[in-house]
Amino acid sequence: MQEFDLEAEGLRALNSALHAQNNDTNQTAWEILNPKGSHAIAVGLDAPIDVTVKGSTGYYCGGMNQQANIHVAGSVGPGVAENMMSGTVVIDGDASQYAGATGHGGTLVIKGNASSRCGISMKGIDIIVHGNVGHMSAFMAQSGNLVVCGDAGDALGDSIYEARLFVRGSVKSLGADCIEKEMRPEHLAILADLLDRGGVDADPSEFKRYGSARKLYNFNIDNAY
Amino acid sequence: MTQNKTDGPPRTVPIQSATFSGSVNAEIRRAAATGIYDIRGGGAKRKLPHFDDLLFLGASMSRYPLEGYREKCETSVTLGTRYAAKPIELDIPITIAGMSFGALSGPAKEALGRGATLAGTSTTTGDGGMTVEERGHSNKLVYQYLPSRYGMNPNDLRKADAIEIVVGQGAKPGGGGMLLGQKISDRVAEMRNLPKGIDQRSACRHPDWTGPDDLEIKILELREITNWQVPIYIKVGGARPYFDTTLAIKAGADVVVLDGMQGGTAATQDVFIEHVGQPILACIREAVRALQDLGMHREVQLIVSGGVRTGADVAKCMALGADAVAIGTAALIALGDNDPRWEDEYQKLGTTAGAYDDWHEGQDPAGITTQDPDLMARFDPIEGGRRLNNYLKVMTLEAQTIARACGKNHLHNLEPEDLCAITMEAAAMARIPLAGTDWYPGKPGTSY
Ligand SMILES: Cc1cc2nc3c(=O)[nH]c(=O)nc-3n(C[C@H](O)[C@H](O)[C@H](O)COP(=O)(O)O)c2cc1C
């Protein structure tokens, strides 16, 4: 186990040490102490390592992650795991705005609540939120899955493309072109797998599925707002 | 003349309205028939105060010129000296602006890379991500970080020689992008992670930061990911250049890219292109003032664009305080866009060479702004690269000719004192004395 005191050694030293790891590294377990809300912790990683952050972080923790498993034993600021490509990021607490924004792949698990714009412009990432998500979540979401075990705020899935949204609780309102869709057996199977990966003990049949009505895909004046 | 046609009292001749001109009325009819605004490529087509409204004074009794092409006149520029470990060193201060793959074909991107590399300058990706063609053929490649994040991935980010965060574009400050369904080939769709054939909107604001304070943290993240190696540019449209430049510097930019309203676009609403933003001539001095007020002029470099066509334009930008320029439209024309040799085909498309701007429709006879394999095959990227290199060389020679005439041994030594303005508007916007006077509107110490 590599222990790293962020307060003592600084952000640059931390990210350089993590970037120095490659696929063959034998330093596979890292613990980051004293994050104290710092920004850009463990960004741009590209190695199969486990990183635990002992405390809460600022913006963009785990940004653009590839391969690594990042676990935050605390809450995270805006843009956690933004543009993630692969690997997993697990947050024990809550996440601020734009969690998982533009993520292309990998899995983001938020055990608390996520604020507004969770999964904005997502491009293939899977996001599992144990609690609620704020307004404008999955705005312009292109692909991937967003699972919300609690409630969703206003304008869920506004201008959504092909991402799948699963919500167990209430949805305050749906955004432009987002509609409720039939939950077919294949969706239940996809959701069961997501819940399993997110460590959620819930029955897939309690969820509703939302997605694109595909009415805004090609310009039509009658759909202009 | 209708006056003498018939007997009876004289009649007035038909008078066309200057307000409701033929083209205005045609647009009203087009709107009434279709119910959709006009979308097109290119930049503002209206006449605007521009670099043509400035002249160089040249050397005279009190200024000593340099000899023709023999005495040295340097053209190099280094971009990104503020924070980056590896600033970008260019032989000439003329860069190729970001133009999206999707809007342009793969071979066109390749040609831009080839031409820029031959000329010793950089080229820039665009919306839709980095293609292997352009990375492979560009010695210096600037990677755009755009609101859509189409094709954005850390592997390409790390391959970039600089990162350009696009906040806005001169053609549409405050607007996003649009790639209509007909141009979405399999390759474009795959890079953007969207279904084929649907309109692809590029968001107008970034998904994970909202203002300059957030942007500062975003820049920290990008620097951490790329280990503080490469410069980070911020590109803004010509909206509020003094404040935009100030805030870009505050957010941590190494380079500010400022694009005026003449700047080209691949596809935007005509109303946006013609009615939003300021001409580049009005923006440069304001941006330079911001840099100077913060003590950052030449420390943070300024690249300007929007209607740069000639070496004279380059020299004028430099004299007004820019470190380099970027060209988009002119580079496409050098590659063969809007060439009269395709006139028959332009006619079939209801237009004419020089006016063709429906780049979003993907039917470009010159094979540049298209994804159609047959049209693309008309364009030879090696020949295109050669032409672009020639053109960049000519622009550089022209700028040097002017600089030598002004007694400057480096393009960067050109200064506002080398210029005069021939219109009141240009004098006011560029803060350059009106020809024959020592005055410009708003000059401190004058009351009018
Ligand atoms: C075909 C085309 C595509 C463009 N695509 C982008 C783009 O993806 N991102 C961007 O920031 N600017 C884009 N631009 C704008 C250019 O980067 C640049 O600001 C502009 O072309 C400069 O003005 P000029 O065309 O008068 O030289 C595009 C311009 C053109 C002509």
Number of domains in chain A: 1
In a domain, A21, yes or no: no
CB atoms within 10 A of CB A29: 12
Among the partner-chain residues A19, A39, A102, the one whose CB lies closest to the CB of B152 is: A102
Q: What angle do CA B267, B272, B278 make, to 5 degrees?
A: 115
Mean pLDDT of all residues in B117-130: 96
Q: Could you report the per-residue pLDDT of B292-319, keeping only the tens digit for each? A: 999 999 999 999 999 999 999 999 999 9
Q: Phi-psi region for residue B347, left (φ > 0), alpha (ψ -120 to 50) or beta? A: alpha
In a domain, A126, yes or no: yes
- Domain of B106 in residue numbering reads as 51-430
- Domain of A139 in residue numbering reads as 94-214
- Ligand 1 centroid distance, CA of B344 (Å): 27
Residue B192: the pLDDT is: 83
Q: Could you report the per-residue pLDDT of A70-123, keeping only the tens digit for each? A: 999 999 999 999 999 999 999 999 999 999 999 999 999 999 999 999 999 999
What is the spatial distance between Cα B304 and Cα B319, in angstroms, rounded to a whole number? 12
* For residue B139, pLDDT beyond 90: yes
- CA of A162 vs chain B CAs: smallest distance (Å): 8
ipTM of model over 0.90: yes
Number of domains in chain B: 1
In a domain, B22, yes or no: no
Q: Which of residues 60-89 of A touch B (CB under 8 A)?
A: 60, 63-64, 66, 78-79, 82-83, 85
> Under a CB-based contact definition with an 8 Å cutoff, are residues A96 and A77 in contact?
yes
In a domain, B38, yes or no: no
* For residue B223, pLDDT beyond 90: yes
- CA of A142 vs chain B CAs: smallest distance (Å): 6
Interstrand relation of B268-269 and B39-40 (parallel, antiparallel or unpaired): antiparallel
In a domain, B10, yes or no: no
pLDDT level of residue B195 (50, 70, 90 thresholds): confident
In a domain, A130, yes or no: yes
Higher pLDDT pick, B163 / B177:
B163
What is the spatial distance between Cα B264 and Cα B275, in angstroms, rounded to a whole number? 14
Residue B276: the pLDDT is: 97
Residue B280: the pLDDT is: 98
Please, what's the b/e burial string for B98-119 (b: 16 or more CB within 10 A of its CB; e: otherwise)? Answer: bbbbbbbbbbbbbbbbbbbbbb
- CA of A98 vs chain B CAs: smallest distance (Å): 6
Q: Could you report the per-residue pLDDT of B27-48, keeping only the tens digit for each? A: 999 999 988 889 999 999 999 9
Residue of B100, B125, B370, B395 to mutate, ligand 1, most atoms within 8 A of C-beta? B100
Question: What is the DSSP secondary structure assignment for residue B254, as one 8-state letter?
Answer: S
Of A137-151, B65-79, B291-305, which range is least confident? B65-79
Residue A202: the pLDDT is: 96
pLDDT level of residue B1 (50, 70, 90 thresholds): very low
CATH of the domain at B74: 3.20.20.70
Q: Could you report the per-residue pLDDT of A153-196, keeping only the tens digit for each? A: 999 999 999 999 999 999 999 999 999 999 999 999 999 999 99
Q: Could you report the per-residue pLDDT of B335-380, keeping only the tens digit for each? A: 999 999 999 999 999 999 999 999 988 899 999 999 999 999 999 9
In a domain, A7, yes or no: no
Return the closest-CA partner of residue B146 out of A96, A20, A102, A206. A102
In a domain, B441, yes or no: no
- The verdict on a CB contact (< 8 Å) between A83 and B199 is no
Q: What angle do CA B429, B427, B307 make, to 5 degrees?
A: 55
- Assess whether the C-beta atom of B108 lies below 6 angstroms from ligand 1: no
In a domain, A64, yes or no: no
Residue located via tokens 């952000």 = A11
In a domain, B438, yes or no: no
* For residue B164, pLDDT beyond 60: yes
Instruction: Tally C-beta pairs within 8 A across A and B.
Output: 102
Q: Helices A11-19 & B212-225, crossing angle to 10 degrees?
A: 40
Question: What is the DSSP secondary structure assignment for residue B160, as one 8-state letter?
Answer: -
Interface test with A, best of B193, B204, B232, B269 (most A CBs within 10 A): B193
Higher pLDDT pick, B259 / B70:
B259
- The verdict on a CB contact (< 8 Å) between B208 and A102 is yes
Mean pLDDT of all residues in B162-173: 97
In a domain, B43, yes or no: no
- The verdict on a CB contact (< 8 Å) between A83 and B153 is yes
What is the spatial distance between Cα A156 and Cα B310, in angstroms, rounded to a whole number? 50
In a domain, B334, yes or no: yes
pLDDT level of residue A219 (50, 70, 90 thresholds): confident
pLDDT level of residue B2 (50, 70, 90 thresholds): very low
Tokens at A221, concatenated: 């004046």
* For residue B407, pLDDT beyond 90: yes
In a domain, B36, yes or no: no
Among the partner-chain residues B181, B207, B217, the one whose CB lies closest to the CB of A218 is: B181
What is the spatial distance between Cα A91 and Cα A76, in angstroms, rounded to a whole number? 7
Residue B4: the pLDDT is: 54
Cβ neighbours of B252 in A, within 8 Å: none
- CA of A106 vs chain B CAs: smallest distance (Å): 13
Which helix (H) or strand (E) segment holds residue A33: the answer is: strand A29-33
> Under a CB-based contact definition with an 8 Å cutoff, are residues A52 and A69 in contact?
no
- The verdict on a CB contact (< 8 Å) between A58 and B217 is yes
- Ligand 1 centroid distance, CA of B265 (Å): 5
Query: Helix (H, G, I), strand (E, B), or coil: what is residue B291?
Result: helix
Q: Could you report the per-residue pLDDT of B241-293, keeping only the tens digit for each? A: 999 999 999 999 999 999 999 999 999 999 999 999 999 999 999 999 999 99
Residue located via tokens 């094979």 = B367
In a domain, A48, yes or no: no
Q: How far is CA A20 from CA A23, A45, B26, B224, in A?
A: 10, 9, 63, 13
Q: Could you report the per-residue pLDDT of A192-215, keeping only the tens digit for each? A: 999 999 999 999 999 999 999 998
